[in-house]
Amino acid sequence: MIRVLIVDDSAFMRSTLSSMLTADPEIQVIGIARDGIEAVEKVASLKPDIVTLDVEMPRMNGIDALKQIMEKTPVPVLMVSSLTTEGAGVTLDALDLGAVDFIPKNLSELSINIVKIKELLIDKIKKIGKKGLVKRQMKAPSSPLIMPQSAYTSHRRVNIIAIGSSTGGPKALQNIITLIPKDFPVPIVIAQHMPPAFTKPFAERLNQLSAIEVKEAESGETIRKGTAYIAPGRGHMSVQRKKLTETVISVSEERGEHIYRPSVDVLMLSVVENFSGHVLGVILTGLGNDGSRGMKEIKNKGGRTIAESESTCIVYGMPKAVVDAGLADKVVPLDEIAGEIINSV
């Protein structure tokens, strides 16, 4: 059984989350807390496998409670976040402090997709709760990042890097992108599953921390070397070659057949279509199998592929799908991925 503590000052949210989670026989809600002080006490006494933690609460807010939880009794924490720009900033702060992911607070406003949201929430709780807290030992920015050259099936020059990630991805991407040098000679395109209000603040935060430029991609803009483009959460991002030396970004708000937005497959398939085998595809932590089609095409066209190893994944879903299908040239822990990217160009 995955033992869950629900922390929220809203009786409606406590009831909604509890009824959603207890519908699964493998999940047990072992307690509730109405504010941060209760949360810290109950995490210590009940020792849950995972906690859902609201941000705005009386007496002690979620951020202060998270700090104390991670200090005293570390446990996987999912933040309950409003899907607004303001909510995005606070949630990104929480991820920096050790929260593993977030879930939408406005569940009542998402009733059209409530069945799908319930399935994703249960899957997320079970996968994260079973694995527990992942301790990622990252290299300092000054540490050497030169990795051994081996194992790639392709020796073609890499002209673009395509990265896909989901649950646990924001922190993983921060750990990778902040280590890329300023003079990096090719563009980087990234699809991270995120709500629309989150991708721009996330890109801005990465930009402040990184040597290269990081931005939320805009439809119609030309991609440049030494720049990382975060796909907007409102739709699917793709690239299109206009001339031999010019490739532009396109953003479509059509959901199509894809469960997640922005879709990793949509991005990677467009990249390999326009750059053929001169692509490095990277799949990081996340639920599901988004990206496996794109990685297969990259591999088939003679590109290079990397999957994050299970040891550092918050959720070993997307990389597992790639590894199990035999599509990964290399399977490496998070702290080696920046070095592999640098050495690929």
Which one of the listed residues 82, 154, 165, 166 is annotated catalytic? 166
What Å distances lie between residue 21 and 108, 135, 173, 218, 286, CA to CA? 16, 26, 29, 38, 20
Is the CB of residue 323 less than 8 Å from the CB of residue 309? no
Write the CA distances from 219 to 70, 144, 216, 263, integer angstroms. 40, 36, 10, 15
* Cα separations in angstroms, 327 against 149, 162, 293, 331, 344: 18, 15, 10, 10, 17
Residue 290 falls in the annotated catalytic set:
yes
Identify the CA nearest to 94 among candidates 205, 191, 12: 205
CA distances from 47 to 39, 40, 42, 76, 102 (A): 11, 10, 7, 11, 20
169-177 and 85-97 are packed helices; what angle lies between their axes, rounded to 10 degrees?
70
> Which of 193, 292, 329, 344 is an active site residue?
193
Given the residues 154, 290, 309, 329, the one annotated as active site: 290
Extract the tokens encoding 262: 């922005």
The answer to whether residue 9 is catalytic is: no
| Residue 269 CB neighbour total at 10 angstroms | 19
123 catalytic, yes or no?
A: no
Q: What tokens appear for 202 in the block?
A: 């996330």
Catalytic residues: 166, 193, 290
